[in-house]
A = this chain, B = another copy of it.
Amino acid sequence: MDLPRRLDGEEPIYRQIYHGLREAIDVGRLAADDRLPSTRHLAVRLGVSRNVVLLAYAQLEAEGCVVGRLGSGTYVSRDLPERRLAPAPSRRGASPEPELSLSAFGRRLTGHDPAWTHEASGAARWDFTVGRLARADFPARDWQRALREAARSSNLEYAEPEGLTELRRLVLRYLTMSRGVVADLEQVVITTGMRQGYDLTLRLLVDPGERVVLEEPGFPPVAAWTTAHGAEVLRVDVDAEGLRPDSLAEIDRARLAYLTPSHQFPTGAILSLPRRVAVLDWARRAGCALFEDDYDAEFQYAVRPIPALQGLAPGSVIYAGSVAKVLSPALRIGYLVVPRGLVEAYRAVKRGADRQTSTLLQRALACFMADGSYERHLRRQRARYRARREALVGALEKTFGGDVLVRGVQAGLQVLVSFPELSANLEPTLVRRAESAGVRVEGAAACYASPPADSSLLLGFAAMSEAEIGEGIRRLADVVAEVTITTAR
Contacts and interface: CB of A to CB of B under 8 A. Distances in A.
Interface of A: 1-5, 7, 20, 23-24, 27-30, 34, 37, 45-47, 87, 94-106, 109-110, 113-115, 119-120, 132-133, 135, 138, 140, 143-144, 147-148, 151-152, 154-160, 172-173, 176-180, 182-185, 192-193, 195-196, 199, 203-207, 210, 221, 224-225, 228, 255, 273, 276-277, 281, 284-285, 287, 289, 303-309, 311-316, 327-333, 339, 341-342, 344-345, 347-349, 351-361
A412 B127 CA distance: 49
A98 B454 CA distance: 41
A327 to B, nearest CB: 7
Given A158-B330, A331-B360, 4 more contacts: A96-B284, A100-B315, A106-B349, A113-B344
Nearest to A104: B207
B156 A138 contact: yes
Nearest to A178: B2
A370 to B, nearest CB: 12
Contacts of A115: 348, 351
Contact of A273 (B7, B47, B160, B180): B7
- Kindly list the 5 A-B residue pairs having the minimum CB-CB distance in the complex, ordered from nearest: A97-B315, A2-B180, A2-B307, A4-B311, A330-B359
Given A102-B205, A199-B352, A203-B105, A184 B27 contact: yes
Contact of A45 (B199, B285, B305, B312): B305
A33 to B, nearest CB: 13
How many chain copies?
2
Contacts of A154: 330
Given A160-B120, A330-B158, A344-B110, A358 B361 contact: yes
Contacts of A47: 303-304
A357 B360 CA distance: 13
Contact of A182 (B87, B156, B305, B332): B87
A284 B29 contact: no
A195 B355 contact: yes
Contacts of A160: 120
A474 B110 CA distance: 57
Given A4-B311, A138-B155, A100 B29 contact: no
Nearest to A4: B311
B158 A151 contact: no
A284 B135 contact: no
A316 B348 contact: no
Contacts of A3: 180, 307
A356 to B, nearest CB: 7
A203 B103 CA distance: 7
Nearest to A150: B147
A65 to B, nearest CB: 15
9 contacts: A2-B179, A2-B308, A4-B308, A30-B176, A114-B348, A115-B348, A133-B156, A144-B148, A147-B151
Contact of A331 (B30, B147, B353, B359): B359
Contacts of A158: 119-120, 329-330
B359 A360 contact: no
B289 A106 contact: no
A84 to B, nearest CB: 12
A100 B273 contact: no
Contacts of A114: 348, 351-352
A278 B391 CA distance: 68
Contacts of A104: 207
Contact of A342 (B100, B133, B356): B100
A203 B106 contact: yes
Contacts of A330: 154-159, 356, 358-360
Contacts of A308: 2, 4
A27 to B, nearest CB: 6
A19 to B, nearest CB: 12
Contacts of A276: 7
B312 A354 contact: no
B312 A5 contact: yes
A311 B306 CA distance: 57
A192 B361 CA distance: 12
A287 to B, nearest CB: 5
B359 A277 contact: no
A354 B147 contact: no
B358 A358 contact: yes
A84 B173 CA distance: 18
A357 to B, nearest CB: 7
Contact of A97 (B143, B179, B183, B316): B316
